[in-house]
Amino acid sequence: MKIIRSIQDMQSYTMRLQMQGQSIGFVPTMGALHEGHRSLVRRARDENDIVVVSIFVNPLQFGPKEDYKRYPRRFAQDEALLVKDHVDVLFAPGADAIYPQGYTTVVDVPALTRTLCGPFRRGHFQGVATVVAKLFEIVQPTRAYFGEKDYQQIRVIARMIDDLAMPVRLVACSTVREKDGLACSSRNRYLSRKEREEAIKLYQALYLGRELIDQKIMLNPQKLVRRLMDVLKTIPHGRVDYLSVVDPVTLEPMKRIHRPALLAGAIWIGKTRLIDNVIIP
């Protein structure tokens, strides 16, 4: 596996591949890789000639009080995992390569960031869209792979790709879960053993919601959310940011539940913020 750190080297590498007519599958990450990332890599491996994974902890998508400093950084372990998964290139730029002195351009997708995580993480999706746009410019992928756990992120990126006519195909991949249902996330590493046991309740609440909608037992979003909050309220050091039923395309809250629907939530367990969602097709 080749490790590339400079933007120029990555761009010349990509240009050579494009001239040879090779397809590039791209998995952008912030490292601390887990099974969710590995499933994206495997899919990219299956569908492309060359697989590029980036590791870049993007300062622009963290708020001033968020966990940028303590975000897990495990380059050596990540590198070993990517070698095992037959990745061709690991692109790992430094923060001053991506945001050199004087950097000012941002990409904003306002309509899709007014709900769900948007109001709780001001500037977050602008940071995501900006870095992903820049990474696309550098890597020039044929396909880019994202996990559905970050559903709103996928919608924002899909909109950006359409709006700016970016020549890349977005591939959304199902959330990978641990045995008990907890969605894989780099932030799960923050949880103590006790918190880890509590974390599962977010998925349990969403799962119950899906059952209640599936069986048409509860189609009033307010009532449904109240019912699911009862599950989340039992978490001792838990705090709910939101639990919402939204249209999966516009991400606008539903007045009455119809299908398809997205049931999504964000909770704090101690100092760790977790998100998850289920799609009701």
Tell me which residues are annotated as active site.
Answer: 37
Are residues 14 and 139 in contact, defined by beta-carbon separation less than 8 angstroms? Answer: yes
Output 160 or 182, the one with its CB closest to ligand PAF: 160
Cβ atoms of residues 209 and 228 within 8 Å: yes
Alpha carbon distance 217, 192 (integer Å): 36
Cα separation of 19 and 14, whole Å?
Answer: 9
Minimum CB separation of residue 19 from ligand PAF in Å reads 27
Q: Of the two residues 173 and 199, which places its CB atom closer to ligand PAF in the complex?
A: 173
* CB-based contact 266:251 (threshold 8 Å): no
Taking the complex as a whole, the smallest distance from the CB of residue 30 to ligand PAF amounts, in Å, to 4
Locate 226 and state its tokens: 């109240």
Q: Is 35 exposed, middle or buried (0-12, 13-18, 19+ CB in 10 A)?
A: exposed
The least CB distance from residue 138 to ligand PAF, in Å, is: 13
Q: How many other C-beta atoms lie within 10 A of the C-beta of residue 123? A: 17
Name the residue nearer to ligand PAF (CB basis): 30 or 262: 30
- In whole angstroms, the minimum distance from the beta carbon of 209 to ligand PAF comes to 24
d(CA 48, CA 61): 29
Q: What is the CB-side half-sphere exposure of residue 271 using CA atoms within 13 A?
A: 8
As measured in angstroms, the least distance from the Cβ of 197 to ligand PAF is 25
Cβ 134 vs Cβ 116: under 8 Å: no
With tokens 């890599």, the residue in question is 41
- Nearer CB in complex with ligand PAF: 52/128: 128
Which residue, 39 or 61, has its beta carbon nearer to ligand PAF? 61
Interface residues with ligand PAF (CB under 6 A) are 28-30, 58, 61, 128, 131-132, 150, 153
